[in-house]
Amino acid sequence: QVQLVESGGGLVQAGGSLRLSCAASGRTFSSSAMGWFRQAPGKEREFVAGISWSADNTYYADSVKGRFTISRDNAKKTVYLQVDSLKPEDTAVYYCAARKLWRSVATTASAYDYWGQGTQVTVSS
């Protein structure tokens, strides 16, 4: 079982930056692909970024490429999402998610087995 707790969200002006963190509990974190998703009011949850268990591979939605960076520290059981050059359309609740052991990164929410409670990111214009 994996429990995930996000932090680092907040209110920021357009062009600003935040660093989101997702702390995991459980023994399997270092063997789990991780993803960040977001959900804006009235919209479906969408894939933002993903990272393989070894951190060798990262994936990004086209809308965030060049602005967001996903990373992980397996010793600290934490995955990060550095969000730069924020835009008002980035406003959403950001969720961290984990897949079960040894599975590859996926871009669909239904492929993930464990979810955090989310952290709100609000970007003002």
Question: How does pLDDT run across 103-112, given as a tens digit for each residue?
Answer: 899 999 999 9
pLDDT surpasses 90 at 92:
yes
DSSP string, 30-62: GGS-EEEEEE-TTS--EEEEEE-TTSS-EEE-T
pLDDT surpasses 90 at 1:
no
Read off the pLDDT of each residue in 97-108 and give the average, rounded to a whole number: 93
Asked if 125 and 88 touch (Cβ cutoff 8 Å), the reply is: yes
